Chains A and B, each alone.
Chain A
Amino acid sequence: MRLLEHEAKQIIKKCGIPVPRGEVVKTVDEITFPPPAMLKTQVPVGGRGIVGGILAAATQQEIRHHFERLLATPVRDYLPTSILVEEMVELEREFFLAITHDTVTKMPVAVFSSQGGVDIEALAREKPEKVVSMHLSPLRRFPSFQARELVARAGVSGRLLIQLGAVFARLADVFFEYDATLAEINPLGLSKDGHLLALDCHLEVDDDAQPRQPEIAAIEKQEARFAGGRETSEFERRAQEIDSMDHRGVAGRVIEFPGSLGLIIGGGGASLTAFDAVRQHGGEPANYCEIGGNPSVFKVTELTKHILSKPGVSKIAVIMNVVSNTRVDLVARGVIKGILEKGQDPSQIVAVFRVPGAWEAEGFKLLDKYGVPYCDRTVSIDEAARRAVVSTMP
């Protein structure tokens, strides 16, 4: 989960990292902060500055004007419901600090650049010597002396080195205490009067750790923190409902596509494989869908009916990997039942049924009874996809 800037700043401030003075407001009348001020849109995406999500105001009138404008301006499909109004800080220098997990070495890693406030990815590409990093022990964390070692490698010394080391160590504490997967300050500014201030902060918290992070869980539960993101379609929402109607198995993590071939595929890697294969053979999927974990007949029935209810869907392909946990016969029963309840003929609607594995003999018997075309484990996932696509061609 990505925190909004003001939420992240609240946390690092509590942990001893200075941030600019400011306030978060939802309506223009709440604004008490005097000009000159910076106004920053609160949406959970980066690169706000480039798209006009951060504006400077010199007068009271400008503050009000910018506020209204930011509130009405979507940033990559997100709309803010609050704006951060902050003091304007005159900066001497800017730095970049971040801590994340390196998936290759399987260790936390600290990244520093003495050129902050820039597109750090571009900098790392063009001037890799400007970006230094160091792996950390999750048990020792990142003591100030170690942070100073890293910062010194970037050529910083003197009083600034000591200041930066202290801020970095605190950022590491935030990273570990809050189960973050990313803690980043960019830029960390050095003000004209010699103080370090986190001008922007990006915290991503591990969803899997939420049970032990009550403070973060509470933030996530707050309603209307922002609006938008990728819109879930009515079709997708209905699929989620079906999934939540029964705790057994997964059937209904669905994404809608414009094609005509309904897909019941699963799970995880197999659905990716099957979806790619359908497209490679020229098929046009109507949806992406994961099923697995031994869903109940009821769930598969409802899902089948749902996919068939989408306008333009004339056939369904059911393709899964060799299953050992999910039962083939239950999937077959659910698919057939769903089609019958729609008043249609399973032998005409199923383009291909390829679910080999546990209880397959019982499943195949059922499919035979209704004349549904199926294949066993000797037919690969991509061959099954090809057959499905061919059967939908005129």
Chain B
Amino acid sequence: MAILADEQTKVLVQGITGREAASFTKDMMEYGTQVVAGVTPGKKGQSVYGVPVFDTVAQAMAYQPADAAIISVPPLMVKEAALESLLNGIKLLVIVTERVPRKDTVELLELARQTGATVIGPNTLGLISPGVVKLGMAGGPVADVKKAYMPGKVGIASRSGGMTTEIANLLTTNGIGQSTCISVGGDPVVGSNFLDLVERFYKDPDTEAVVLFSEPGGVIEEKLAEWVQAEQVSMPIVTFIAGRFVDEMPGMRFGHAATIVEGEKGSTKSKIKVLERAGVKVAHAFSDIVTILRREYEV
């Protein structure tokens, strides 16, 4: 089954008349997602693959209340678009746009905290609960989604959009189905990080194990390790950390204050060490993800 969204979730697309947004709107609908309305200021009265377009989120909500908004608007307009949906009562935002200024992200996340909304992204391909719902671009057209994803009980969260599908594909070709697969977003600050999502998976009765795809930088893996230890988490968590060679390359440096907040962490070596110490399984080769899942969890 699914976290975050299900077949009942009604979806609104902000920026629906854009080329990319129109294309993923079509893919979502063909996968069974209920896309109820689109919003592009100034384009009221148009329709995109049969979805009516409104000038404002308020108009769209009056026509048909939505539970989730997918945001695909230019980077400097993302904050306003998010604010508009949040203030109209939407509780789940999926922000597809990349290159959103960091300040705008932290501001919109503060507003989301105030309204009790969940944000995925920015810079996310979206999420899929196989056979149930798909929000955003994740997996591409339905024919491709069906090849790579299959329903089951393993959750996936990935810092790389493309690798979300790649991991699902690895599991599917080995007969292991997925509950929900989330592209977390490539930015340093995202609305829902591994810590937030693993907690959700842990509470989800339909998820029995989790696979994470990680990259160098940031300290979220270290925080996850602390949480796993503190909560004595029993659910198997398998991580794969790409970019080990980056450790050996010059030029990767954080600012002073960032290293104080984050310590001398962030390297793949450090991440692997703390995760393993906390009992999180680290796949040292990509296909080991399957081997470890089979060992840790009866699939």
Identify A98's interface contact among B139, B166, B257, CB under 8 A: B257
Closest to B159 in A: A269
Residues 182-223 of A contacting B (Cβ, < 8 Å): 182, 184, 186, 202, 204, 206, 208-209, 211-212
- Inter-chain CA distance A324–B169, complex, in Å, is 12
B169, A101: Cβ atoms closer than 8 Å: no
Choose the segment among A276-284, A302-310, A339-347 that binds chain B (4+ C-beta atoms closer than 8 Å).
Answer: A276-284
Choose the segment among B2-10, B39-47, B86-94, B100-108 that binds chain A (4+ C-beta atoms closer than 8 Å).
Answer: B100-108
Residues of A within 8 A of B100 (CB): 208
A276, B243: Cβ atoms closer than 8 Å: yes
Identify A322's interface contact among B99, B148, B264, CB under 8 A: B148
A273, B139: Cβ atoms closer than 8 Å: no
B286 within 8 A of A: yes
Closest beta carbon of chain B to A94's beta carbon, Å: 14
**1/0 per position for A318-331, CB-CB distance to B under 8 A?**
00011111000000
Identify B258's interface contact among A182, A267, A279, A324, CB under 8 A: A182
Closest beta carbon of chain A to B201's beta carbon, Å: 18
A381 within 8 A of B: yes
Residues of B within 8 A of A273 (CB): 163, 166, 240, 242, 286
A272, B242: Cβ atoms closer than 8 Å: yes
Residues of B within 8 A of A378 (CB): 173
Residues of B within 8 A of A121 (CB): 256, 259-260, 264
- Inter-chain CA distance A46–B262, complex, in Å, is 18
- Inter-chain CA distance A204–B103, complex, in Å, is 13
B144, A324: Cβ atoms closer than 8 Å: yes
**1/0 per position for A8-46, CB-CB distance to B under 8 A?**
000000000000000000000000000000000000001
Closest to B250 in A: A230
Residues of B within 8 A of A275 (CB): 243, 245
A204, B144: Cβ atoms closer than 8 Å: no
**1/0 per position for B102-130, CB-CB distance to A under 8 A?**
11011101110000000000000000000
Residues 69-99 of A contacting B (Cβ, < 8 Å): 98-99
- Inter-chain CA distance A127–B78, complex, in Å, is 41
The answer to whether A321 and B163 touch (CB under 8 A), given A109-B261, A139-B107, A179-B101, is yes
B223, A380: Cβ atoms closer than 8 Å: no
B14 within 8 A of A: no
Closest beta carbon of chain B to A91's beta carbon, Å: 20
B256, A184: Cβ atoms closer than 8 Å: yes
B29 within 8 A of A: no
Residues of A within 8 A of B213 (CB): 269
Residues of A within 8 A of B190 (CB): 106
B251 within 8 A of A: yes
A324, B286: Cβ atoms closer than 8 Å: no
Residues of B within 8 A of A181 (CB): 102, 255
A208, B101: Cβ atoms closer than 8 Å: yes
- Inter-chain CA distance A382–B259, complex, in Å, is 33
B205 within 8 A of A: no
Closest beta carbon of chain A to B79's beta carbon, Å: 10
Residues 93-113 of A contacting B (Cβ, < 8 Å): 98-104, 106-109, 111
Closest beta carbon of chain A to B224's beta carbon, Å: 10
The answer to whether A100 and B255 touch (CB under 8 A), given A269-B242, A381-B286, is yes
Closest beta carbon of chain B to A75's beta carbon, Å: 14
Residues of A within 8 A of B255 (CB): 100, 181-182, 184, 202, 204
A-B contact pairs, 28 of them (CB 8 A): A98-B256, A98-B260, A100-B261, A101-B188, A102-B261, A103-B189, A103-B219, A103-B220, A111-B260, A125-B263, A125-B264, A131-B260, A138-B106, A139-B111, A176-B103, A181-B255, A184-B256, A208-B101, A209-B102, A269-B213, A272-B160, A272-B242, A272-B246, A275-B245, A276-B243, A276-B245, A322-B166, A382-B285
Q: Which residues of B contact A (CB under 8 A)?
A: 75-76, 99-103, 105-107, 109-111, 137, 139-141, 144, 147-148, 158-163, 165-166, 169-170, 173, 186, 188-191, 193, 195, 213, 215, 218-220, 223, 240, 242-246, 250-251, 255-264, 284-287
